[in-house]
């Protein structure tokens, strides 16, 4: 098993994953996703499934940064519209196969997600809290990421097991690179505010960079747009050598297509998908000098 998840956390908002890259040509893949809005009628299940299957083939670590559920069709939600109920969800509710009463809407959403994600439970390391989930905590007193993660842990392999994570925090990849240790620090935040059609949230990447220290990757979702933007800082190494260090802002778009809400506001269509990252040792002459990261924008 090339990677495992620490059950003990150094802090509630820090997830530690350990992996090893034992040879110069070894690699580890990580799939960054967010905004699946899986129970929304506008969620692109075909693209989602393709990425989940690819992640399973690669034994990738899947990290999800919130809005996995949409959860807007409940009685207490003013935004709910019956025609927007996902046909699969309607089937689950009407057949009673979830084992819950037919009007137990949120139980059916959970059941549908458990059923869909359980074949990928061994890969799915993290389910973060998005504003859709935090709004369900606020109005329905129900923590969907915690319940879903607990259920999915029944299906994951040894040393793995989906972890529910808060709205913002860190993922720490502790890597054994050919015998020596290295750490990749990923700061994540689900995201906030509305979409910015012209700047596409790039201004926020500069703001975050100003106060988030030591992150190799700064990762956000929420605005349903996607890109990877590098940032380079200049500093002095432990050994007194000036050096430049490059990190990356990762913005994941999610899997929701343009729906009625976006059309009425004349919002442009945007990309869908996730970001695959390949982590591998960089060899200079005969020693490993650094961990390298390549990104593949798996966007449609
Ligand atoms: Fe979202
Ligand atoms: Fe969101």
Domains, the chain = 3-299 (3.60.21)
| pLDDT tens profile 90-111 | 999 999 889 999 989 999 999 9
Ligand nearest to the CA of 40: 1
Ligand nearest to the CA of 43: 1
Q: What is the pLDDT of residue 197?
A: 81
List % helix, strand, coil for the chain (3-state, nearest 5): 25, 35, 40
> How far away, in angstroms, is 57 Cα from ligand 2 center?
29
> How far away, in angstroms, is 274 Cα from ligand 1 center?
13
Average pLDDT (157-181) is: 95
Count of CB atoms situated within 10 Å of the CB of 191: 25
Residues 6 or more apart whose CB falls under 8 angstroms from that of 164 comprise 126, 127, 128, 129, 143, 145, 146, 148, 149, 150
Q: What is the pLDDT of residue 79?
A: 80
Q: What is the pLDDT of residue 268?
A: 87
Is pLDDT above 70 for 229?
A: yes
> How far away, in angstroms, is 153 Cα from ligand 1 center?
24
Average pLDDT (66-92) is: 89
> How far away, in angstroms, is 96 Cα from ligand 1 center?
29
> How far away, in angstroms, is 221 Cα from ligand 1 center?
7
Q: What is the pLDDT of residue 1?
A: 56
Ligand nearest to the CA of 191: 2
Q: How far is CA 175 from the centre of its chain?
A: 20
Sign of the Cα pseudo-torsion (1, 292, 209, 200, in order): negative
> How far away, in angstroms, is 208 Cα from ligand 2 center?
18
> How far away, in angstroms, is 136 Cα from ligand 2 center?
13
**Strands, E assignment, the chain:** 3-5, 14-21, 28-33, 61-64, 124-128, 163-165, 168-177, 180-189, 217-220, 227-236, 242-251, 273-284, 287-299
> How far away, in angstroms, is 134 Cα from ligand 1 center?
12
On average, the pLDDT of the chain sits at: 93
Contact by Cβ (8 Å): 34, 51: no
> How far away, in angstroms, is 22 Cα from ligand 1 center?
38
11 strand-pairing partners? none
| pLDDT tens profile 34-44 | 999 999 999 99
Give the confidence band of 260 by pLDDT, cuts at 50, 70, 90.
Answer: confident
Ligand nearest to the CA of 70: 1
Is pLDDT above 80 for 82?
A: no
Q: What's the order of all strands across the beta sheet hosting 287-299?
A: 163-165, 124-128, 61-64, 28-33, 273-284, 287-299
Ligand nearest to the CA of 33: 1
Ligand nearest to the CA of 130: 2
> How far away, in angstroms, is 190 Cα from ligand 2 center?
7
Q: What is the pLDDT of residue 289?
A: 60
Average pLDDT (176-188) is: 93
* Per-range mean pLDDT, top range of 13-17, 21-25, 100-104, 211-215: 13-17
Instruction: Classify residue 207 as exposed, middle or buried by CB count within 10 Å of its CB (0-12, 13-18, 19+).
Output: exposed
Q: Which helix (H) or strand (E) holds 53?
A: helix 45-57
> How far away, in angstroms, is 34 Cα from ligand 2 center?
8
Ligand nearest to the CA of 42: 1
Q: What is the pLDDT of residue 107?
A: 96
Average pLDDT (45-59) is: 98
In terms of pLDDT, which residue wins out, 277 or 201? 277
> How far away, in angstroms, is 238 Cα from ligand 2 center?
39
Q: What angle do CA 44, 47, 50 make, to 5 degrees?
A: 145
Give the confidence band of 172 by pLDDT, cuts at 50, 70, 90.
Answer: very high
Contact by Cβ (8 Å): 190, 130: yes
Question: Which of 48, 49, 54 minimizes the C-alpha distance to 35?
Answer: 48
Is pLDDT above 80 for 287?
A: no
Q: What is the pLDDT of residue 285?
A: 62
Give the confidence band of 123 by pLDDT, cuts at 50, 70, 90.
Answer: very high
């Amino acid at each position: 098993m090339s990677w495992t998840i620490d059950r003990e956390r150094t802090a509630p908002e820090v997830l530690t994953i350990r992996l090893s890259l034992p040879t110069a040509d070894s690699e580890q893949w990580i799939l960054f996703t967010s905004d699946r809005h899986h129970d929304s009628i506008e969620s692109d299940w075909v693209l989602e499934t393709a990425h989940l299957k690819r992640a399973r083939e690669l034994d990738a670590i899947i990290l999800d940064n919130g809005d996995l559920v949409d959860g807007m069709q409940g009685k207490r939600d003013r935004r709910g519209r019956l025609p927007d109920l996902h046909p699969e969800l309607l089937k689950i509710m009407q057949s009673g196969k979830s084992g819950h009463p037919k009007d137990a809407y949120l139980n059916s959403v959970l059941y549908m997600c458990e059923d869909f994600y359980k074949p990928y439970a061994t890969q799915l390391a993290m389910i973060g809290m998005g504003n859709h989930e935090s709004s369900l905590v606020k109005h329905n007193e129900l923590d969907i990421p915690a319940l879903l993660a607990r259920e999915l842990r029944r299906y994951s392999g040894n040393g793995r097991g989906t972890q529910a994570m808060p709205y913002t925090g860190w993922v720490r990849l502790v890597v054994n690179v050919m015998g020596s240790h290295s750490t990749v620090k990923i700061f994540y935040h689900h995201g906030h505010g509305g979409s910015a059609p012209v700047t596409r949230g790039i201004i926020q990447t500069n703001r975050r960079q100003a106060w988030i220290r030591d992150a190799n990757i700064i990762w956000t979702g929420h605005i349903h747009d996607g890109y990877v933007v590098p940032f380079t800082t200049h500093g002095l190494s432990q050994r007194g050598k000036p050096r430049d260090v490059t990190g990356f802002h990762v913005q994941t778009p999610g899997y929701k297509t343009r729906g009625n809400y976006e059309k009425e506001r004349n919002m442009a269509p945007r990309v869908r998908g996730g970001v695959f990252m390949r982590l591998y040792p960089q060899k200079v002459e005969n020693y490993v000098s650094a961990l390298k990261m390549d990104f593949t924008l798996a966007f449609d």
